Amino acid sequence: MAKEMGQLNEEKVFKDPVHRYIHVRDELIWRLIGTREFQRLRRIRQLGTTYLTFHGAEHSRFSHSLGVYEITRRIIEVFHNRPHWNEEERMLVLSAALLHDIGHGPFSHSFEKVFGVDHEDYTRAILLGDTEVNEILRMQGSDFPKKVAEVIEKTYHDKLVVSMISSQIDADRMDYLLRDAYFTGVSYGNFDLERILRVMRPMEDGAVIKASGMHAVEDYIMSRYQMYWQVYFHPVTRSAEVILSKILHRAKDLYREGYAFKQDLTHFRSLFEGEITLEDYIKLDEGVMQYYFQVWMEEEDGILRDLCRRFLDRKLFKYSEMVAVSEVLKLSGYLEEAGIDPKYYLVVDSSSDLPYDFYRPGEKEERLPINLLKANGEIRELSRESDVVEAISGKRRTDHKLYYPADLIEKIDNSELKKKIKHILKKDETDLR
Amino acid sequence: MFDDHLKVITVIKEAGEVVGRKKLQKMIYIAKKLNFPFQEKYEFHFYGPYSEELTLRVEELCNLGYLLEKKEKVSGYSQYRYSLNEEGEGFLASYGTNIPKLGECIRTMNEQSSRFLELVSTILFFYHLPVEEVTDKIHTLKAKQKYTKEEIQEGYKFISQLEGCILQ
């Protein structure tokens, strides 16, 4: 029978720029941090290609995961001895907070799309498979790894536990907003975390916020709204993401065509074959990917070489507002005629965000609302009390853009063809660059 | 470039009209689980498998002028109806590709209620687990929906029916 781990003899602390200190008192958490699967998160950036827009955004999923753990630990302190909070769930929720991103791959947004993999599947595989993480979780109980997986997948029976990690106001979002704001250097993402933590109260279906803390929550919602449009959906970051995804597409297509790569594809072979093992997946990180991009800059294939150069030297695609689909298809034909392969050099990319929404029976986005606890014990949904939140509730904002290589278009010799392309892109001779 | 958009348009075309965002979400999730080539990423939300990407795709199609979205009030809440307009029909006719057996499955699903499709999609989410465990999950995670054992059995039967329809 497994022996549950206890407290460390001495508390361990990590210095952290967002929370000042991350406090670890439990042996289980300490040992999970030391696993190779968790250490791998040091080599995966939290914001993928955003560092090409905001140069400070080099922080990793490792520091974010510690941050989510720390916020969760502090929420538990607030919940301690209050009704609805079950102290027996403490280690479960702390472990889930720490491990919620454990399955993320390098540049996961593009990576998952191109190779048809899902980081949630790898989170599950790391928690339940033959890994160091699993070995340590099992010391807490044979079904403990499965319970952690259920909390992260949002299928655990205790909704309060799930909501602490995944809801419209959870430890994950609160950490990433503050951390991403800090590292990108923007001032939008800040809000009063201390105040929100002080006014959180446990209820059966999730945490609620004491009504006196409503303004701190309003600030949090607005921070989130600003961060999405100013940082996460920045068009330059999206351009880098588009190029990254085209590099992976091109390399995969070449592999399937039997192209002879100069460098052995050790780390990519199983991915290209569609048979990636957990061990292969764990070995992949952003350092490995960027090494291959360097090497591929020396390849014979002009498209792969050019795309890698664009990514590493930050010679990104330019963008225009989306035009009608018929025009995009015409544009695709013109580029092909000019010898620019539209499969790799023309992309429609869309972003969309819903800053806050609440569930309406039978319809809408299936999100649980943020509820306020009034002094008389009444529960009120946030947007019914806050005019600021009401103004943006349920309002989705979407942006569609067209990405293309302006420099290659500029070099087209056929002036008539170039004119037609520029006409669709609604660019005159001077503003394409 | 628009392959994933065309697949969603195909679903609406085959259905004729889909009433409810939830219903459309669950229909495409079920089709994906039956190995039809949908790329939208789904996560388990409090009310079953849900795809933010699909929500965005549908919105794009409305913005591009291919889908008609009609909002109506039904007993106090908003409901959305989706159908294809002339431009959507034209786009599909010019660039769409045939996905064998999809039409039949979509029409079969569209005849069901959104509540039932929510149950079926939840069963499929936990399909790797034994039936008893799936039943427990449904009773715990969807306690408010009060699904009966008979309904859950119906859900499994419906999945077999769809699988049979693909194999024919």
**pLDDT higher than 70, residue A433:** no
Q: What integer is the mean pLDDT of A102-107?
A: 95
Report pLDDT for B165. Answer: 87
Q: What integer is the mean pLDDT of A263-267?
A: 91
**3-class DSSP state for residue A425?**
coil
Helices (H), A262-368: 269-273, 278-283, 286-296, 302-312, 325-337, 342-345
Give Cα A339 distance to the centre of its chain: 35
Whether residue A155 and residue B39 make contact (CB cut-off 8 A), yes or no, is no
**CB contact at 8 A, A354 and B33:** no
**pLDDT higher than 80, residue A316:** yes
**pLDDT higher than 60, residue A430:** no
**CB contact at 8 A, B4 and A347:** no
Q: Which residues of A touch B114 (CB under 8 A)?
A: 362
Neighbours of A352 (CB within 10 A): 18
**pLDDT higher than 90, residue A375:** yes
Neighbours of A257 (CB within 10 A): 8
Give me the residue from B22, B44, B60 closest to A362, CB to CB. B22
Please tell me if residue B77 touches chain A, with a CB cutoff of 8 Å: yes
Q: What integer is the mean pLDDT of A347-356?
A: 81
Q: What integer is the mean pLDDT of A196-206?
A: 95
Give me the residue from B41, B56, B95 closest to A352, CB to CB. B56
How far apart are alpha carbons B1 and B11 in whole angstroms?
18
> CA geometry: angle at B18 spanning B14 and B19, to 5°?
165
pLDDT digits (tens, 9 = 90+) for A227-262: 988 999 999 999 999 999 999 999 999 999 999 999
| Top-confidence residue, A324 or A306 | A306
pLDDT digits (tens, 9 = 90+) for B86-143: 999 999 999 988 899 999 999 999 999 999 999 999 999 999 999 999 999 999 998 8
Q: What integer is the mean pLDDT of A97-104?
A: 97
What is the DSSP track for A58-115?
A: --BHHHHHHHHHHHHHHHHHHHTT-TT--GGGHHHHHHHHHHTTTT--TTHHHHHHHH
Q: What integer is the mean pLDDT of B154-166?
A: 95
Q: Which residues of B touch A328 (CB under 8 A)?
A: 1
Q: Percent of chain B, pLDDT > 70? A: 99
In chain A, what are the domains?
A: 7-232 (1.10.3210.10)
Report pLDDT for B166. Answer: 86
Average pLDDT, chain A: 92
pLDDT digits (tens, 9 = 90+) for B48-87: 899 989 988 998 899 889 999 998 887 767 789 999 999 9
Q: Which of residues 132-171 of A touch B (CB under 8 A)?
A: 153-155, 157, 159
| Top-confidence residue, A90 or A393 | A90
Whether residue A155 and residue B41 make contact (CB cut-off 8 A), yes or no, is no
Report pLDDT for A3. Answer: 63
**CB contact at 8 A, A403 and A344:** no
Which residues have CB under 8 Å from A237's CB, separation 6+?
A47, A48, A49, A50, A52, A53, A231
Q: How far apart are the CA of A363 and the nearest CA of chain B, in angstroms?
A: 6
Q: What integer is the mean pLDDT of A327-333?
A: 94
How far apart are alpha carbons A116 and A131 in whole angstroms?
23
**3-class DSSP state for residue A14?**
strand
How far apart are alpha carbons A300 and A296 in whole angstroms?
9
Segment holding A21, helix H or strand E: strand A20-26
pLDDT digits (tens, 9 = 90+) for A17-73: 999 999 999 999 999 999 999 999 999 999 999 999 999 999 999 999 999 999 999
Helices (H), B40-85: 52-63
Q: How far apart are the CA of B158 and the nearest CA of chain A, in angstroms?
A: 22
In sequence order, the β-bridge partners of residue A349 are: A401
pLDDT digits (tens, 9 = 90+) for A123-143: 999 999 999 999 999 999 999
A335 exposed, middle or buried (CB, 10 Å; 0-12, 13-18, 19+)?
buried
Give Cα A123 distance to the centre of its chain: 14
Q: Which residues of B touch A342 (CB under 8 A)?
A: 1
Q: What integer is the mean pLDDT of A381-392?
A: 90
pLDDT band at B144 (very low <50, low <70, confident <90, very high): confident
Whether residue A352 and residue B44 make contact (CB cut-off 8 A), yes or no, is no
**pLDDT higher than 90, residue A91:** yes
pLDDT digits (tens, 9 = 90+) for A129-179: 999 999 999 999 999 999 999 999 999 999 999 999 999 899 999 999 999
How far apart are alpha carbons A13 and A15 in whole angstroms?
7
pLDDT digits (tens, 9 = 90+) for A206-221: 999 999 999 999 999 9
Q: How far apart are the CA of B165 and the nearest CA of chain A, in angstroms?
A: 26
Give residue limits of the domains in chain B. Answer: 3-167
Q: What integer is the mean pLDDT of A7-26?
A: 97
Structure tokens at A432: 């394409």
Q: What are the two backbone dihedrals, phi and then psi, of residue A349, each rounded to the nearest 5 degrees?
A: -130, 135
Pairing verdict, β A371-373 and A206-210: parallel
Segment holding A246, helix H or strand E: helix A235-257
pLDDT band at A369 (very low <50, low <70, confident <90, very high): confident
How far apart are alpha carbons A7 and A147 in whole angstroms?
21
Residue whose C-alpha is closest to residue B64's, from B147, B21, B8, B15: B8
Please tell me if residue B96 touches chain A, with a CB cutoff of 8 Å: no
Q: What integer is the mean pLDDT of A81-105?
A: 97
pLDDT band at A432 (very low <50, low <70, confident <90, very high): very low
Q: Kindly list the distances between the CA atom of residue A343 and the CA atoms of A253, A303, A310, A329, in Å, as whole numbers in the listed order.
A: 11, 11, 16, 11
How far apart are alpha carbons A106 and A290 in whole angstroms?
10
Residue whose C-alpha is closest to residue A127's, from A37, A27, A39, A41: A37
